[in-house]
């Protein structure tokens, strides 16, 4: 019998399967483009990667009727959006197996380590590169993706902080305390690494999915700086149960995912092998009501725990269900109600107005739980962070788009709310789970980092040949660190300064381009010129850095994005 199945297998693999359902990797330029294409709030883009996208069998993505774009008439293929000819929008059949689009990303930093939202790659000073490749297999409800990444960092020397790291951690670690595993430099030598990248094994059925994945997760509607999950760090191996596309009901559509996984320490934190692995339990939910078109609201909650020597208890797998207040943990051993884990919660929403080509979005988060319900009511903004932004798409003549995006993110727990009279924990750091919200030495949340404030503006022109864009970003770094260590920081200065005189502020200007070339090539380039004032909070220590990123993709018609 098994030999008969083997004989039939080649024929089964050639059977067309109808319209192709694809997953766009987090951070792919097509992901952002599809968001601007679908300015009707569906899909929500609050839980990513975006999966289950059905490609129109007429050779064009099914653009909403109210988009204002030209429509197809009597079966004639017409231009309805600038990138209609891109392979993603022109796939009529689904293959049971095939290859992913290979890509090569090469970057260069002139003066320091700098990188953001780049997944497994750590961009040190000098040259860095990441090669992505792989293939997939779809058999009925089983979907297997193997898409590893190989990275290389030249890791040239540059000036580190003049302030020492905690004595119990590596000299390459962040200064002042040991609650944050984000090394300033990954050792003193060049290095390379193999990473599973966007790989997964999952079962899908009627909108629901379960499996094991290493793919990057992005939660909330932010374009640049989500407060909890982003692709700023390498993906982590995790099991999941939830939806892979919105599940529609009469009252609206629902998305959600329950996650269990492991976060790993970098090689440049401490020498204790017993705390190298952290267990993470997270749940994320999104609801798009049918009676309010374009609106999507959701939430994500995370719970981190240093992996116990004697293994996990059953209750640990449902840590996100524990109460939100500390009063539930009061005991003789813990009179303050402190537990052994680290939790964060975020609420987010996105409201799109398709007739205007416009959307607004936002996210609000808390870094820790309240003492009790009364404390929550009185000090609702304690240890809070927020992000809000907007997108405007203008449809120009010649089937072109001009897209404006602005975003403001504040992750400074010590600057606002009740922080003037009550200490708040710095985001992404924790006194018990001392590596904080990181994986393999990179931050999993907003790339700007803890205690920081960002204002971002960008504009992009989309045409059939690709895109061209500009961006401007102002970032005020590590305000909590400066607030808590002002005396120590002043002791390293030639004079004594007020707090407001020592803020480390970056002004970053960006040029962006993407071109679709002959011979199935796609070239993307991003150039950032940054000027840092008061580097490491040292008055007058101003540094410039140039970051160049070039990505080449080879996109054959049979390749999946």
d(CA 113, CA 111): 7
d(CA 289, CA 252): 4
Give the model's pLDDT for residue 7.
Answer: 32
Q: Read out DSSP for 263-287?
A: EE--TTS-S-GGGSEEEEEEEEEEE
CB 94 within 8 A of CB 18: yes
Q: Read out DSSP for 437-488?
A: SEETTEESS-TT-TT-EEEEEEEEEEETTEEEEEEEEEEEE-HHHHHHSHHH
Is 457 exposed, middle or buried, given 0-12, 13-18 or 19+ CB atoms closer than 10 A?
Answer: middle
Give the model's pLDDT for residue 375.
Answer: 56
d(CA 528, CA 137): 38
- Bond into 37 cis (ω within 30): no
Q: Cα-flanking dihedrals φ and ψ of residue 451, to 5°?
A: 70, 20
Q: Which pair of structure tokens corresponds to residue 449? A: 């980092």
- Residue 167, CA distances (Å) to 68, 174, 476, 481 in order: 61, 11, 27, 18
d(CA 86, CA 31): 13
Q: Note if the pTM is more than 0.85.
A: yes
| pLDDT per residue rounded down to tens, the chain (561 residues) | 343 333 333 333 333 343 445 788 999 999 999 999 877 656 789 999 987 565 443 333 444 443 443 333 334 445 589 998 888 777 655 678 999 999 999 999 999 999 999 999 999 999 999 999 999 999 999 999 999 999 999 999 999 999 988 888 898 998 987 888 999 999 999 999 999 999 999 999 988 999 999 999 999 999 999 999 999 999 999 999 999 889 999 999 999 999 999 999 999 998 888 899 999 999 999 999 999 999 999 999 999 999 988 888 888 899 888 877 665 665 566 556 566 788 899 999 999 998 889 999 999 998 866 665 665 555 556 678 999 999 999 999 988 999 999 999 999 865 555 555 556 678 898 888 999 999 999 999 999 999 899 999 999 999 999 999 999 999 999 998 898 899 999 998 888 899 889 999 999 999 999 999 999 999 999 999 999 999 999 999 999 999 999 999 998 888 888
Is 102 exposed, middle or buried, given 0-12, 13-18 or 19+ CB atoms closer than 10 A?
Answer: middle
Q: Cα-flanking dihedrals φ and ψ of residue 481, to 5°?
A: -60, -45
């Amino acid at each position: 019998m098994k030999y008969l199945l083997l004989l039939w297998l080649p024929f089964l693999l050639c059977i067309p399967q109808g319209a192709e359902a694809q997953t766009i990797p987090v951070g792919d330029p097509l992901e952002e483009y599809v968001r601007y294409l679908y300015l009707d709030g569906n899909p929500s883009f609050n839980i990513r990667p975006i999966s289950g996208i059905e490609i129109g069998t007429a050779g064009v993505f099914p653009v909403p009727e109210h988009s204002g774009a030209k429509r197809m008439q009597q079966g004639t293929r017409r231009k309805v959006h600038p990138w209609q000819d891109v392979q993603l929008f022109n796939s009529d059949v689904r293959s049971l197996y095939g290859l992913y689009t290979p890509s090569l990303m090469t970057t260069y930093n002139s003066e320091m380590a700098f990188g953001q939202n780049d997944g497994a790659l750590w961009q040190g000073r000098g040259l860095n590169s990441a090669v992505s490749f792989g293939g997939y297999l779809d058999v009925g409800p089983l979907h297997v993706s193997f898409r590893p990444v190989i990275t290389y960092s030249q890791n040239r020397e540059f000036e580190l902080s003049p302030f020492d790291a905690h004595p119990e951690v590596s000299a390459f670690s962040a200064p002042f305390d040991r609650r944050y595993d984000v090394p300033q430099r990954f050792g003193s030598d060049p290095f390379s690494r193999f990473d599973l990248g966007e790989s997964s094994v999952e079962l899908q059925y009627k909108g629901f999915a379960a499996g094991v994945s290493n793919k990057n997760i992005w939660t909330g509607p932010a374009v640049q700086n989500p407060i909890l999950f982003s692709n700023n760090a390498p993906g982590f191996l995790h099991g999941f149960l939830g939806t892979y596309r919105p599940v529609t009901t009469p009252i609206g559509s629902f998305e959600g995912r329950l996650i269990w996984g492991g976060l790993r320490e970098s090689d440049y934190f401490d020498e204790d092998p017993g705390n190298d692995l952290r267990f993470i339990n997270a749940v994320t939910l999104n609801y798009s009501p049918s009676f309010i078109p374009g609106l999507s609201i959701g939430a994500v909650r995370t719970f981190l725990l240093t992996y116990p020597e004697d293994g996990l208890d059953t209750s640990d797998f449902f840590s996100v269900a524990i109460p939100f207040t500390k009063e539930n943990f009061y005991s003789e051993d813990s009179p303050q109600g402190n537990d052994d884990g680290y939790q964060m919660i975020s609420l987010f929403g996105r409201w799109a107005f398709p007739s205007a080509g416009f959307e607004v979005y936002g996210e609000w988060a808390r870094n820790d739980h309240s003492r009790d319900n009364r404390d929550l009511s009185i000090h609702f903004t304690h240890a809070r962070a927020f992000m809000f932004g907007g997108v405007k798409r203008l449809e120009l003549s010649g089937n072109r788009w001009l897209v404006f995006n602005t975003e403001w993110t504040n992750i400074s727990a010590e600057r606002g709310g009740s922080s003037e009279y009550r200490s708040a924990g710095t985001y992404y750091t924790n006194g018990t789970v001392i590596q904080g919200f990181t994986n393999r030495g990179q931050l999993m949340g907003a790339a700007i980092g803890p205690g920081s404030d960002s204002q971002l503006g960008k504009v992009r022109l989309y045409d059939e040949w690709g895109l061209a864009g500009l961006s401007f970003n102002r970032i005020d770094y590590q305000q909590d660190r400066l607030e808590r260590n002002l005396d120590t920081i002043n002791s390293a200065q030639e004079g004594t300064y007020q707090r407001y005189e020592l803020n480390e502020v970056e002004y970053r200007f960006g040029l962006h381009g993407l071109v679709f070339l002959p011979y199935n090539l796609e070239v993307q380039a991003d150039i950032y010129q940054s000027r840092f004032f008061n580097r490491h909070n040292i008055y007058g220590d101003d540094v410039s850095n140039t970051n160049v990123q070039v990505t080449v993709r080879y996109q054959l018609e049979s390749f999946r994005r």
